Structure 1
Amino acid sequence: MGKSDILREIESLKQQINEINEKVDIILKRQKEIDKKVQTLSDIEDILDTLPAKLNTASFQIISNFEDSTKNVSKKLEDSIDKSLSKLNKLADIDKRLDAFEEDLRAYISKMRFMLLELEDSLRR
């Protein structure tokens, strides 16, 4: 084996090393892509693991807010109804007093007519 054979062998080995380096670079690039995908899958898994708790919390908050709103509306409605009933009671009381006043006024007018008739009778005699 001569010097030229050794040089050719060295060149061949260098070329093989370059090819191996290129393959290693490709493998490293693919490894990085796989690592990114694994991280993405891990993130998705974390999201899926915490999703029921988050949904439960959100549902609880929505229900709690709905209950609070319902209580507020109910309280306002009760207050409004109480005010309306109070006004109706006042109106009913006023109506009763007006009815009594009307009866008293009719009795007074009737008495005045009777007195006028008696006065007319007295004047005619």
Structure 2
Amino acid sequence: MSSTDARRLDGYATDLDGVFEGQAALRRKSDDTPLFGAVDLFDAVTDAGRKGLSLQRYKGLGEMNPGQLWETTLDKTARSLLQVRVKEVDAADDLFNRLMGDLVEPRREFIQANALKASVDV
């Protein structure tokens, strides 16, 4: 569970106190999943939502097969284009050069200083 999900779930803790005093279960079709707390409920719902899904990662569009490229990027009815505006051009340029530039040491320092702030879904 990500920290964002945990904080959101914690916000509902008092509302859910009475629900889990007795035996609780999540019923889905003919399947009953016993629940012993809010975290069990979250995990059960998340697992059910992920059934039949797969996650693929690509470094570039050239790694996709044509069907995937059409579904995710080229199909005008499915894609979203957002305009990005940079307010602090100098700071953005500095960060871009630090992360994408040829010098390894500034990139390593940035990653080490900010690694625990990242929300990574691996």
TM-score, length basis structure 1: 0.19
Q: Which has the higher helix share?
A: 1
Q: Which has the higher strand share?
A: 2
TM-score, length basis structure 2: 0.19
State the structure with bigger RCO (CA 8 A, min sep 6), 1 or 2: 2
